[in-house]
Amino acid sequence: MRTEAMQKLTRDQLMPLEQYAKQRNDFRAKVMAHKKDRQVQIGPHATLYFEDRLTMHYQVQEMLRAERIFEEAGIEDELNAYNPMIPDGSNWKATFMIEYGDEDERRVALGKLIGVEHKVWAQVAGFPKVWPIADEDLERTTEEKTSSVHFLRFELAPDMIKALKSGAAINMGIEHPAYTHSLSPVPEATRASLAQDLA
């Protein structure tokens, strides 16, 4: 069963620019509160931001506002760019960010962290770790360095989803020679929010 959280956004669900201008503060407050339970920090410099229909709705509205897009073709382009980040009922989709405040430190770290996007894992308690499918839209790593932003998809088996729906804990981590950290388990509010992404 696909819940509303898994349905792709359509043009008629978006607010026109004028309406969005009036409702933006309230909508933003709602989205920020929602996002709080969908962030998982792994160690001091890496965070997973789990996306869903609401976070993507906000992203699309913000893009339309910033670019003053109101033509149908432009709106469709934005929907086509962001709809793939909405979970499909059997997966989690996350923006993975490597975060260093200092630019020089970040440059050095990104040089050491090549391939890190494939070394992030999520685990439903009692099951094997799930490794992500990374950057399906475009390659973000070169021979010299990785990107500070990646897009990850974690595909979960039906029995994992069933266990999660029955309250199983979620653990997450990164196993890279230059960065190994884990979080066991993620907070309950995050677990509950992520469980809603699954059919």
pTM: 0.90
Closest CA to 55 of 199, 194, 154: 194
**Residue 14 pLDDT class (50, 70, 90 cuts):** very high
Q: Mean pLDDT throughout 49-57?
A: 95
Q: How buried is residue 198: exposed, middle or buried, by Cβ count under 10 Å (0-12/13-18/19+)?
A: buried
Closest CA to 3 of 154, 151, 161: 161
> Taking all residues of the chain, what is their mean pLDDT, rounded to a whole number?
92
Amino acid, res. 20:
Y
- 92 or 12, higher pLDDT: 92
Whether 156 contacts 170, CB under 8 Å = no
| Total structural domains within the chain | 1
Q: What is the dihedral of CA 77, 80, 83, 89, to 10 degrees?
A: 170
pLDDT for the residue numbered 4: 60
pLDDT for the residue numbered 194: 96
Range of the domain at 121: 4-195
pLDDT at 92 over 70: yes
Give just the sign of the alpha carbon dihedral 114, 115, 117, 120. Answer: negative
Whether 129 contacts 121, CB under 8 Å = yes
Q: What is the pLDDT of residues 153-177, one digit of tens each?
A: 999 999 999 999 999 999 999 999 9
Least confident of 45-49, 93-97, 141-145: 141-145
Q: What is the pLDDT of residues 178-198, one digit of tens each?
A: 999 999 999 999 999 999 999
Q: Mean pLDDT throughout 122-139?
A: 91
Amino acid, res. 71:
E
Question: Which stretches of 84-168 are assigned E, i.e. beta strand?
Answer: 91-98, 120-124, 133-134, 149-155
